[in-house]
Structure 1
Amino acid sequence: MMNHTGKKPHRCAVCDKGYSRVGYLKLHMMNHTGEKPHHCVVCEKRFIQLGHLKRHMLIHTGEKPHRCNVCEKRFNNVGHLKRHMLIHTGEKPHRCNVCKKGFRQAGYLKTHMLIHTGEKPHRCNVCEKRFNNVGHLKRHMLIHTGDKPHRCDVCEKRFCRAGYLKTHMLVHTGEKPHRCEVCEKRFSNVGNLNAHILIHTGDKLHRCNICNKSFRQRVGVKMHMRIHTNEKPHQCNVCNKRFRQGVHLKSHMITHTVEKLYPCNVCEQKFSRMAVLKRHMLTHIKEKPHQCNACGKRFGLNGSVKRHMLTHTNEKTHGCDTCEKSV
């Protein structure tokens, strides 16, 4: 009857938690003593309760007795099936009392709450970086170990995350399941779609905290910050010249190979980069698409109009390190 009345007369002497039955209290006490009397004969993993061991044994047998009656997916644990069913029902019973966001599992809500508290209890023992989610820490550790356990069966390229491999496989299948509702353009990756959508909305949510320049993507801010820090992590292994972005190093490497793959179809002059060819083409068509919004003068290159604008602002961007004179 104690279960119906709600009384919990059996109390833990360590943490004061109450239980309706003495058997439940005995099981709970094992959390404090560390006792795990039930062990798996296959992998030696130990458990407090026999029921937990029985569920664990299904991992070794491969048995999945619990089946979803919607999509036929099977599970070895009835709890996993119940959580899975929430995907079909759309139910999110666990709600954040700060931002009202809903979650299917209490564990997801618990992890989410760390965003509001700012707590990051999981620490990398290599670089001291902290995380609010143990899964994020595990993924981060792959940076230090260099481990890439997920391999593509087609090209044998390896990835540190299963999700990265899944996205990569779309390159081979040609599948682009994510569609822009504005222009119908399709993408293999939802992240690329989200970045593309910002072109239509014009939103630039990520701002440099030094010069307030805005960017559509967080990576844009990251690349931009290297202008302020003068960080150039990409180095040429031939001449040791350094670059802020990997793509700039890739373009630079062509100068060492002297390979000119891009010919002009007007004068047959060849160029090592497509961007240089495009600038060259402006000399043939005399097109000047870039206009100064101060005096109306037009230029063939965007860089030319930026340099020209300095004549209006009288800004001097290049300073001498020796005498501090600016030009």
Structure 2
Amino acid sequence: MGKQAGKKAFPCQECNSSLATMSDLKKHMRIHTVNKLCKVCGLSFSKGIKLQKHMQTHKREKHCPCQVCGNSYSTKSNLKIHMMTHTGEKPFSCELCGSSFTMKSSLKIHRRTHTGEKPYSCQVCGASYAQKGGLQAHMYGHTGNKPYSCKVCGYECIARSNLRDHMRIHTGEKPFSCEVCGKAFSLQSTLKKHMYTHTGEKFHSCAVCGTAFVTKSDLKTHMRVHTGEKPYSCAVCGSSFKSSSGLKSHERTHSRENHYTCSICGSLFASLYGLNTHRIKHTGEKPSCDICNASFAAKYVLKQHMRVHTGEKPYACKMCNSAFNRYNSLKLHTWTHTGEKPFTCEVCGAGFSEKAKVTVHMRTHTGEKPYHCEFCGSTYASRQQVTRHKRLIHGYVKKV
């Protein structure tokens, strides 16, 4: 008799799964390789004996100390490579773009950004990567394993380098400094982006509004302003966000985690932006406009203000050709198309598209007229009404 249909005759020795063919079993077994992971350097191995052998490389005596910083290395060649971080020497250059590197292997990996080569493939889903580390990090998506965690706040990540970068949030360490202005950063990638503020280089432009960005990822995030896409959702309340950083900050409002502390008064904040905005209360420093010298409580308000000078209107209406310099203005405008009036008068039930209009409307019920004409003393319920009165009756024209 033939083999019974659907029978899974190849059991996995690591878990309780059974596979239909030996080929399927071999593919499945690769999921378990990340469990045999070196916690020192992140390399993974197919067998425990190989991991044990590899661990001996970390236990070797480090008898080659660096005379500059004191770090020690097991071989002279490793020390030589390390010394280049102090001297700035980068002997291996890319013939296509001129980027230089301390190691030949780093140059080899870099060249793949030009060729598109991705030699490391996931045997589970087929995704491919230019670096072995990228594949190893990807494999955690199948296993759900995050072997590195922060002892301060419990943050978990898939790579030791991620944890190292994260720890600078707590230590305040900023080892990467700008040679032009001296500003320091916790990440090398952030310094690289900062350098473009000196050179003015912005390679990635929005096809909708023309705004240019330093990185492709910044442009991708910006495009969600036009599409309305919010791919990051909160598992607790369902709120959606345009960026992962926005979601992370929001999630702390549920967990009550406050990772950012004011060094002056000890107040805690869920986001770095919240802390920086708070610091203005102590320092009195407010970001100001280089064109008209107006000052603002936060950088994002200054950014909105700058659009008054540049004429930039990144928020476009999908129903007509109108464009706006603020998202809230677009939102209010959209209601002129939909007829939506979400703000209602509690007295008579009249609906309005703006909350401010409800406030003005309520004065028809209360009789309140807080705005007065300085020429004749007449009073009005809104600023617009008194401005209209001064123009028509007194011939007043506001000076620009």
With the length of structure 1 as denominator, give the TM-score of the two structures.
0.58
Whole-angstrom distance in 2 between the partners of 1:54 and 1:224: 48
Partner residue of 2:104?
25
Match of 1:131 among 206, 213, 216: 213
Q: Secondary structure at the match of 2:179?
A: coil
State yes or no: 1:116 paired with 2:195. no
Whole-angstrom distance in 1 between the partners of 2:107 and 2:145: 29
Q: Secondary structure at the match of 2:384?
A: helix
Q: Pick closer, same or farther for the CA change 1:277–1:103 going to 2, 3 Å.
A: same
- C-alpha distance after superposition, 1:248-272 (max 9, x if no partner): 7759988999x98442xxxxx7755
Partner residue of 2:158?
76
Amino acid corresponding to residue 279 of structure 1 in structure 2: R
Partner residue of 2:384?
303
Q: Secondary structure at the match of 1:138?
A: helix
Whole-angstrom distance in 2 between the partners of 1:213 and 1:309: 30
Amino acid corresponding to residue 203 of structure 2 in structure 1: P
Contact 1:288 1:298 in 2 (8 A): no
Determine which structure has greater relative contact order: mean sequence separation of CA pairs < 8 Å that are 6+ residues apart, divided by chain length: 2
Q: Pick closer, same or farther for the CA change 1:304–1:13 going to 2, 3 Å.
A: closer
Match of 1:279 among 350, 354, 363: 363
Whole-angstrom distance in 1 between the partners of 2:338 and 2:106: 65
Match of 1:61 among 143, 146, 158: 143
Unpaired runs of 5+ in structure 2?
1-75, 261-268, 321-328, 353-357
The 5 A counterparts of 1:179-258 are: 205=288, 217=301, 221=305, 246-247=331-332, 250=335
Q: Secondary structure at the match of 1:69?
A: coil
Partner residue of 1:289?
370
Q: Which of 59-68 and 82-91 deviates more?
A: 59-68
Percent identity of equivalent pairs: 29
Q: Which of 71-80 and 143-152 deviates more?
A: 143-152
Contact 1:223 1:245 in 2 (8 A): no
Unpaired runs of 5+ in structure 1?
179-186, 237-243, 264-268, 318-327
Partner residue of 1:107?
189
Contact 2:90 2:101 in 1 (8 A): yes
Q: Secondary structure at the match of 1:120?
A: coil
- C-alpha distance after superposition, 1:205-230 (max 9, x if no partner): 569x8xx79795458759989xxx9x
- C-alpha distance after superposition, 1:167-208 (max 9, x if no partner): 66799x698989xxxxxxxx99967x959x89xx8x79569x
Count the aligned residue pairs. Answer: 283
Q: Pick closer, same or farther for the CA change 1:107–1:42 going to 2, 3 Å.
A: same
Q: Report the Cα offset of residue 111 of structure 1.
A: 0.7
Contact 1:38 1:48 in 2 (8 A): yes
Q: Pick closer, same or farther for the CA change 1:84–1:245 going to 2, 3 Å.
A: closer
Q: Report the Cα offset of residue 109 of structure 1.
A: 0.6
Whole-angstrom distance in 1 between the partners of 2:128 and 2:186: 29
Contact 1:96 1:113 in 2 (8 A): yes
Q: Pick closer, same or farther for the CA change 1:125–1:44 going to 2, 3 Å.
A: farther
**C-alpha RMSD of matched pairs (Å):** 5.7
Whole-angstrom distance in 1 between the partners of 2:171 and 2:90: 38
Q: Report the Cα offset of residue 10 of structure 1.
A: 7.6
Q: Secondary structure at the match of 1:137?
A: helix
Amino acid corresponding to residue 86 of structure 1 in structure 2: R
Contact 1:120 1:131 in 2 (8 A): yes
Q: Pick closer, same or farther for the CA change 1:289–1:119 going to 2, 3 Å.
A: same
With the length of structure 2 as denominator, give the TM-score of the two structures.
0.49
